[in-house]
Amino acid sequence: MKRAFNFSAGPAALPLEVLEEAAAELFDYRGTGMSVMEMSHRSDEFVEIAQRAEADLRELLGVSDDYAVLFLQGGATAQFAAVPLNLLGEKVAADHVNTGAWAKKAISEAKHYCRANVVASSEATNFDRVPPRAEWKLDRNAAYVHIIGNETIGGVEYHDIPDVGSVPLVSDMSSTLLSRPIDVSRFGAIYAGAQKNIGPAGLVLVIVRRDLLGRARADTPSVLDWKLNADNDSMYNTPATYSWYIAGLVFRWIKRQGGLVAMEQRNRAKAQKLYRAIDASNFYRCPVVERDRSLMNVTFTLADESLDKAFVKGAEAAGMQTLKGHRSVGGMRASLYNAVPEAAVDALIEYMASFEAEHGA
Ligand code: PMP
């Protein structure tokens, strides 16, 4: 079996151990004579899988009973609409920080339902940073403050949780959740599409403070109504059962690795190594200011853009996949999620050095 070094931003690398476990149980899940894929979501077996996954996730992140945990569908994109629908209540505005492509998508979706204030933006510097908290012009009457915890395309990450007072802080953590410990109690709501550090696509996690439930607009579609889904254990309609099951296996894998503290140590080591190699060269450049560089999505450009194609092609020939940056920004992007081993980063750094030696000035 040949496994690629997979730097995809999502869907992304999963731990081999998880895939092996899933393969071993694929045709006959623990003597049931069927795959988890074929099983009723109301069966005892699946309900146990679902409950265990939630319990393990709560343990990993230290989520208290004050928060509901939902396993929904529609990706983070559905949550761009669900957030205003569920949280506006009587309010007419929400505060947004514009840090790049995903922040913009969240803002344009929120505008369908409310006034989306852009309280700070790094657009003037090409989204190379998180605008410093001191510069945010918050509206005291906003229903919530919305941030993108990690801009997957731009490679910009909040390394500290901003203090926004008593207004609930809502974060899209699609590409950072489970990469390191976080203090969930600082947030009103967190959501994350699964296809980075959690599991396969088709699943989105929502972690929401229970006291914020119950204020959904009357015309909120049922599948997006957090309270309805919380009251029905995320089974108001058929959940993404197989993705939920694989996510449960991933949670157990993370626990076996030593939990989120161990994940952070590894992720910091991987990212630091790669950023160091980029900074040490005159050929590669990271467009993000040092303080706000993402641990998960390392973006970099080559001195000569016309070499991009050759770089990607050579990397593929050497077993490294999906290094091309997002089509909207160009350059390169190496996503270093939990399941990407340090050996993949070492191979990339070695390849970058040899490419530079061949093509650099
Ligand atoms: N937010 C962020 C930060 C993302 O990285 C992505 C997907 N890469 C999305 C939202 C959209 O997620 P989905 O395609 O699952 O709806």
pLDDT at 269 over 90: yes
Q: In angstroms, how far is the first alpha carbon of the chain from the final one? A: 39
Q: What is the mean pLDDT of the chain?
A: 97
In CATH, the number for domain 259-359 is 3.90.1150.10
Instruction: Taking residues 287-299, report their average pLDDT.
Output: 98
Residue from 95, 104, 128, 196 carrying the catalytic annotation = 196
Ligand 1 close to Cβ of residue 148 (< 6 A)? yes
DSSP letters of 234-293? T-SS---HHHHHHHHHHHHHHHHHTHHHHHHHHHHHHHHHHHHHHHH-SSEE--S-GGGB
Ligand 1, pocket-test mutation among 102, 296, 327, 329, most atoms within 8 A of CB? 102
Using CB atoms within 10 A of its CB, is residue 72 exposed (0-12), middle (13-18) or buried (19+)? buried
Ligand 1 close to Cβ of residue 188 (< 6 A)? no
Q: What is the pLDDT of residue 56?
A: 98
The string of pLDDT tens digits covering residues 54-109 is 999 999 999 999 999 999 999 999 999 999 999 999 999 999 999 999 999 999 99
Instruction: Taking residues 40-63, report their average pLDDT.
Output: 98
pLDDT at 361 over 80: no
Residue 178 structure tokens: 């489970």
At 282, the pLDDT band (50, 70, 90 cuts) reads very high
Percent of the chain with pLDDT over 90: 98
Q: What is the pLDDT of residue 45?
A: 98
Q: What is the pLDDT of residue 1?
A: 85
Is 102 in the active site? Answer: yes
Residue 188 structure tokens: 């009103």
219 Cβ contact partners less than 8 Å away, ≥ 6 residues apart: none
> Domain 16-256 falls in which CATH fold?
Aspartate Aminotransferase; domain 2 (3.40.640)
Instruction: Taking residues 124-148, report their average pLDDT.
Output: 97
Which residue, by CA, sits nearest to atom 13 of ligand 1?
75
Residue 85 structure tokens: 């629908």
Residue 4 structure tokens: 């690629």
Report CA(193)–ligand 1 centroid distance (Å). 6
Which residue, by CA, sits nearest to atom 9 of ligand 1?
76
Ligand 1, pocket-test mutation among 72, 79, 152, most atoms within 8 A of CB? 152
Element (H, E) at 69: strand 67-72
Which residue, by CA, sits nearest to atom 12 of ligand 1?
76
The string of pLDDT tens digits covering residues 295-345 is 999 999 999 999 999 999 999 999 999 999 998 888 999 999 999 999 999
Ligand 1 close to Cβ of residue 152 (< 6 A)? yes
Q: What is the pLDDT of residue 221?
A: 98
Give the predicted TM-score (pTM) of the model.
Answer: 0.98
Residue from 95, 128, 172, 292 carrying the catalytic annotation = 172
Residue 277 structure tokens: 């190699």
Ligand 1 close to Cβ of residue 174 (< 6 A)? yes
Distance of alpha carbon 310 from alpha carbon 14, whole angstroms? 27
Report CA(242)–ligand 1 centroid distance (Å). 20
pLDDT at 263 over 90: yes
Q: What is the pLDDT of residue 329?
A: 85
Which residue, by CA, sits nearest to atom 2 of ligand 1?
174
Ligand 1 close to Cβ of residue 128 (< 6 A)? no
Ligand 1 close to Cβ of residue 200 (< 6 A)? no
The string of pLDDT tens digits covering residues 302-314 is 999 999 999 999 9
Please answer whether residues 181 and 264 qualify as being in contact, where contact means their C-beta atoms are separated by less than 8 angstroms: yes
pLDDT at 126 over 80: yes
Element (H, E) at 6: strand 5-6
Is 313 in the active site? Answer: no
Element (H, E) at 72: strand 67-72
The string of pLDDT tens digits covering residues 152-211 is 999 999 999 999 999 999 999 999 999 999 999 999 999 999 999 999 999 999 999 999
Q: What is the pLDDT of residue 360?
A: 85
Please answer whether residues 330 and 308 qualify as being in contact, where contact means their C-beta atoms are separated by less than 8 angstroms: yes
Where in the chain are all domains bearing CATH 3.90.1150.10?
A: 259-359
Residue from 95, 102, 128, 227 carrying the catalytic annotation = 102
Q: At what angle do helices 259-280 and 241-257 cross, to 10 degrees?
A: 80
- Give the closest residue to 60 by CA, choosing from 336, 296, 342, 257: 257
Length of the chain: 361
Report CA(105)–ligand 1 centroid distance (Å). 9
Report CA(80)–ligand 1 centroid distance (Å). 10
Where in the chain are all domains bearing CATH 3.40.640.10?
A: 16-256
Please answer whether residues 323 and 334 qualify as being in contact, where contact means their C-beta atoms are separated by less than 8 angstroms: yes
Q: What is the pLDDT of residue 290?
A: 98
Q: What is the 3-state secondary structure (H, E, C) of 91-139?
A: CCEEEEEECCHHHHHHHHHHCCCCEEEEEEECHHHCCCCCCCHHHCCCC
Q: What is the pLDDT of residue 132?
A: 97
Is 196 in the active site? Answer: yes
Q: What is the pLDDT of residue 327?
A: 85
